[in-house]
Structures are given as structure tokens and as C-alpha cells.
Chain A
Amino acid sequence: MALELEHVTKRFGKFTAVDDLSLSIPESEMFGFLGANGAGKTTTFRMILGLLDPSGGKITWNGNPIDYSTSPLIGYLPEERGLYPKLKVKDQVIYLAKLRGMAKQNCLKELTYWLERFKVPEYANKKIEELSKGNQQKIQFITAVIHKPKLLILDEPFSGLDPVNVELLKDAVLDLKDSGTTIVFSSHRMEHVEELCEHLCIMQKGRPVVHGSLKEIKRSFGRKNLIIHADYDLSFLKDSRGVVKARQTAEGIQLQISGEDAAESIFREVAEKGFVRKFVLEEPSLNDIFIEKAGASYE
């Protein structure tokens, strides 16, 4: 296991931000680290980066503790933009890359590559404050990956980007993963997590409430989504056996049910009523699971 967190706890006075968190993330894997606001994600990241010391437990990278001697191996993209507004893109990236142990020449070469890959080569000599939010995010991403880190922490990497640029960055993230980088990925956009991560963990109040592979999590969640479209009123289904949640839609109803057997009885119920134009039984989405487990809504 490349990144290992063993019974990590962090307390601030009486407040416990992270409570007995154990994770192990293998090399070359993208791990989804989810949680509502204030669930302890940033605190965990800061502990992994060595900015905060855990109150208990330990964090290791390939068996070694993480400290400033390992900093060239680590890349970090914080949730908030963290760049000098008055500095030119080139100077900025070089300065931060030097601090990660990179030589200047090599850095210039890599910077040219990345700027071209992100289709913004003309920004090298612009000041950060002159760039749009999305373009600043690209530069932020470059500073996180330019030194080819072994462990990359991405906290909301796609915020502020348009769909085209999201694809651009997503491709870059996938390439990094394929070239052996271990990535811890945090996002509130569940579709991105579903698309990119095989394993994930959902935090709630500092504790991991869901942990495992995406498939397993979906299977063990048990519940499924049932979508029914018909020309008559379907609201009577709200009280049927096995229905956990119901939501009226324009063309019919969307139900969350406890399992497949519930779907069968509902199918018989609506068949008696009349013709059904659509009857779909779906796997739950990560969004559903998150809302259920983390207890907050993200629409």
C-alpha cells in the first residue's frame, strides 16, 4: 500500500475533527475522498501533507513517515486558489517548483508542455490577477503536478471550469494516474467521482461512514432507483411496500426502493392500473448514497 493512514485522529481542543480514520490507498490509484462541508477532509489533507500533526495514529507513504524531506514527491492542489496575484505565471510556477526540488531549466520545459496542453501558451508572461478564475485554476493545477509527484492531492480540482476545460483536466488527471501517480481526489460533484475513482470513502463528522470500492458500495447500499412514466397519477405508489423515498416528476414518479423484490410488487401494482410507458430499475447513483450517508443535500 502506498499511502497508509492508521487510526488517525485529530483533535482541536475539545473538538474532534477527524476520528479514528484508517485508509490504505495502493499505488497508481485514484481515491475519492468525499464528505459534506466540515466533515474533516481538509484537516485530513493537511495531516497527510504534514502541515498538522495527528493527535493519534500515523500516516505513512510506502512505509515512511511523510515530512518535508518527502515534499518533492507530493503535489497539492488546495480547494482555494493559492497563487501570488501580482506575480507572472512563469515566475510563480518556477518559484513553487523550485521549492519542490525542481531545477529551473527542467521546469521551463515542463511549463511550456503543460501550458500548451491546456491551450494557454500565451499566459506564461501574464500576471495571475489578469487571468479568469478558470484559467487560474489551470495554473494552480500545473503548480501541483509540474514536478511529477508520486502522491497527488486534488481538492476540488474542477471548480470554476467550463465543461470543455473539465474534460481537459480530467484527461490530464487520468494520464497522471496511468503513469503511476497515486491520487487522492475530493469533490462535491459526484458524477466526477463516479467517473474517475474506483475506491472511495465518505466522511461524516470526522468518521468514515462508507468505505470501499464503488461497485461494492453501490451493491451494499441495497436500495435502487425505480423510474416509472405513465399517463395516470402514480402518487398512490408513495405508500407502497418497500418505498423509501418518492419524488414526483413531470412525466411520472421516481422512487427509491429498498430492493429488487419491492420492484416486483410495484410492477404488479401499476400493471393492474393500466399501461406504463417507462419502467426502469436503476443502480443507485453516488449522489443518492452521499445524500443518505453524509446527510446533506447536493443537488
Chain B
Amino acid sequence: MNNFMTILLHTYLSKLKTKSFIVTTLITVAIVAGLANLSGIIEYFNKDDQERIAVIDETGVLLAPLQEQLDALNSNISLIAYKGSEAEGESAVKDEEYKGLLLLTFTEEELPEASYKARSIADSAIPSELQGGLQQLKTQMAATQINLSPEQLSKLYEPVPFDKTALEENAKTEEELNQARGLVYVLLFIIYFAVILYANMIAMEVATEKSSRVMEILISSVSPIKQMFAKILGIGLLSLTQMALILLVGYFSVKQNLDTMEGGFFEFFGFGNIPASTIAYALIFFILGYFLYATLAAFLGSLVSRIEDIQQMITPMTMMVVAGFMIAMFGLGQPEASFVTITSYIPFFTPMLMFMRVGMLSLPVWEPILGIAILLVSIILLAVFGARVYRGGVLMYGKSNSFKDIKKALQLTNNE
């Protein structure tokens, strides 16, 4: 047990001190803090950013109501009546005095018509806002022309009452579902990246120790199985440290900015009231998923002799994680598809899919429990099998690195 702790701490501390780990953690923390403060940052840059548009209003009546419409739409466009000719206006735009030039006229039917000129029309936000404002204006004017009262008009545009009710007991309401979707989406991403990142790290560690031949010394003092699990736990601890750091920074910066975020993006993503069970399931499936893929990565890593070959060796594993993630993304839209239900019981997909289902749907408790049980059993099976391959694999040196080597590695550990 003593040796186990020595390896675990060595793995943890030596990784913790590497530059790459510190740098990636800092960058991620910075990104998280940046995202949490996003609205503040955007506001800072857009503070007094009024878009000035020159308007030549030939009708003489459209300018003021259009500005009203735009203000109602929360637009930051300010319309300025331009007294000169069209050519003068164009050159004023070219001189960057104005963002653009808007010509307002009436059609034969006395309805508004416009043409917009700007240095470039790459920025589609301004013209579409102008167009939207004009559209509203036109609708009103046309309504007046055919003698529609405002009441009649609003009746025309009134949305059909459409109410969705889930009949199943404790099924999630539409609102809850949307919230859950946002949260599950974010957590899925975290699981996905963490599994790929840390499983890679383990495979690299093992391959490095093997290619530098330090492995032979290590396993002459500690059994390979003990060494493998100490390593997996050491990196696991590292991953939790990194996650905790990021989440902590995220939590505090969100908390600080809570006022500015009400109702916006964060509410949509369901961070307003996070259900504790979803977080608990996320943690459980994250840890189990980590162990599953870490064990797989460790024994795949034990099969290569050169670090260059590691990527090739773990590609199938990475593909599996990606496939699981893809199905989960698809499942966010259709969590009840039978395809998703079935695949959520396949061990390598369970961490993401079962979590997605449990987060999105109101599953009977036995389903996630069964998923966890399946995961536990496959982790144990994989660990037993992986440990045997690992024991032989770390002693094998050679050019070839294919899955045939698994057989060779097993043969090495055979007593007969």
C-alpha cells in the first residue's frame, strides 16, 4: 500500500508541476472567467457605439416613425436627416462620416420603399434592422389604407394558443426540458473533453515510462497492476483538481455577475436552478467514464514501444468517445429515440448517453442504477483483463503495434 501511495503521489505531483498542465489550467480558467463576464465585456466595447445613418427622406414623414420603431427594437441605430443631394451623401459615407445612406421614398401605392448604401454590406445587422423597422411601418400603413383598426391588426398577428402538456406523471414540462437541455449540453461537453484529455494523458504516461525503459525498474519493485492503478488514480486526482479549480472560478464569477445575467443566456441554459440530482449524476458518470477509459488507455499504452505510436493505438478509443458524444448530441433533441435508449446500455457509451437521458427525461430510478452497474462491471472486467495485458505489454518491445499484440502480451503472462 505504501508503494501504491508513492506512485500515486509521484504521478499526481510531477504532473501538477509540469508547465503544460499549469498553462492549460490557466487558459481554461481565463476562458471560463471570460465567458462568465461576457455580457460585461461586450457592453464595455459597445458602450457609446451609436451607428449613425444618413437619411434622405423624400416623403418627409417616414423618418420620425422609423426611428421610433428602431428604438422600440432596442437598436443602437440613430437616423440623421441629411440635407444634401444623394451624391453628396454617398461621398459623406465614403469619408466615413456616416455608416450608411438610406433613401426613403413612396411607391405608387403610397407605401414606403427604401434603398441602402454603405461602404460595404458585409455587416448585415444594420440593413436587416432597418428593413425590419420599415416592414413594421409598412404593415401599419397598409392596414390604415384598407381601413383596419389597430385591434383588427393585432388580431391578425395574434399567435395561435398552443399548449403542450405531458400526460406522464412527473414528466418534464417544456420549460424544464429546455433548461435541462442547456445544462446537460454543457456537462456532456465537460465529460467528453475530460475523458479524452485524461485518458490520453494516461496512455502517454505509460508509453513514456515504457519507451524510457524506466518501466522495467518500476515493475521490478512494484507489481504492474498496482502501478497501473496508482497511475490511474493519480491522474484521476489531477483531473478532479483541475475540474474543481475551473468550476470554482466559474461559480464565483457567475455569482458576481448574477444580476447582469438574469433572464439572459444563463437562464436559458438552465443555470438558474440546477437540480442537485443532475449534478450528482454528472459527477458519478464522469468518474465512472474516466475509470473505464483510463483503464483502456493504460493497457493500450502498455502495448506500444515508442511514443510516436501512441496516437495510432488509442485512435479507436478516441473514436468511441466521439461516437458516444455524437449520439448524445443527437439524443438531446430526441432523448426518447429507441436507438438512444439501447446505446445508453453499451458500456463505452453509457457515461454520456445514460447521463444525457437521466438529465433530460424522468427515468425510473432503476435505469440509471442499471447503467451504473453495467459500468462498474465493465470497469472491473476491463481492469482484470487490462491488468493482464499490461503486465505482459510493458515487457514487450518491438516494431509492430497492433491488436495482435494483445494476444502476445497475454501469452507473456501465462504460466504455461
Contacts and interface: CB of A to CB of B under 8 A. Distances in A.
Contacts of A228: none
Given A82-B212, A85-B212, A53 B415 contact: yes
B218 A81 contact: no
A111 B88 CA distance: 86
Contacts of A99: 3, 6-7, 218, 221-222
Contacts of B222: 68, 71, 99
B241 interface: no
Contact of A49 (B2, B6, B213, B220): B220
A54 B209 CA distance: 25
Contact of B221 (A52, A55, A96): A96
Contact of A51 (B6, B14, B226, B395): B395
B217 A12 contact: no
B220 A76 contact: yes
B96 interface: no
Interface in B111-145: none
Contacts of A78: 213, 216-217
Nearest to A95: B10
A232 B101 CA distance: 115
B42 interface: no
Nearest to B224: A51
Contacts of A143: 217
Interface in A16-57: 46, 49-55
Contacts of A71: 220-222
Contact of B217 (A52, A82, A87): A82
B220 A87 contact: no
B214 A84 contact: yes
B416 interface: yes
B406 to A, nearest CB: 14
Contact of B213 (A12, A50, A53, A80): A80
A264 to B, nearest CB: 53
B407 to A, nearest CB: 10
Contact of B214 (A49, A74, A82, A91): A82
Main secondary structure of the interface of B (DSSP, over half): helix
Contacts of B219: 51
Interface residues of B, number: 27
B28 interface: no
A82 B412 CA distance: 21
A188 interface: no
B220 A51 contact: yes
A98 B219 CA distance: 13
A13 B186 CA distance: 50
A11 B216 CA distance: 20
A224 interface: no
B409 to A, nearest CB: 11
Query: Which residue among A46, A76, A82, A91 has the maximum number of chain B CB atoms within 10 Å of its CB?
Result: A82
Contacts of B411: 12-13
Nearest to B18: A86
Nearest to A99: B221
Contacts of B223: 68
B212 A46 contact: no
Contact of A82 (B3, B215, B415): B215
Nearest to A12: B411
B14 A87 contact: yes
A99 B213 CA distance: 16
Contacts of B3: 98-99
Contact of B412 (A12, A49, A83, A91): A12
A100 B216 contact: no
Nearest to A13: B411
Contacts of A51: 216, 219-220, 395
Interface of A: 11-13, 46, 49-55, 68, 71, 74, 76, 78, 80-85, 87, 91, 95-96, 98-101, 143
Given A52-B412, A82-B214, 10 more contacts: A51-B216, A51-B395, A68-B221, A80-B213, A80-B216, A81-B212, A82-B215, A96-B218, A98-B3, A98-B6
5 contacts: A51-B216, A54-B415, A83-B212, A84-B209, A91-B14
Q: Which 9 A-B pairs have the closest CB atoms?
A: A82-B213, A99-B221, A80-B213, A49-B220, A82-B214, A71-B221, A82-B217, A78-B216, A76-B220
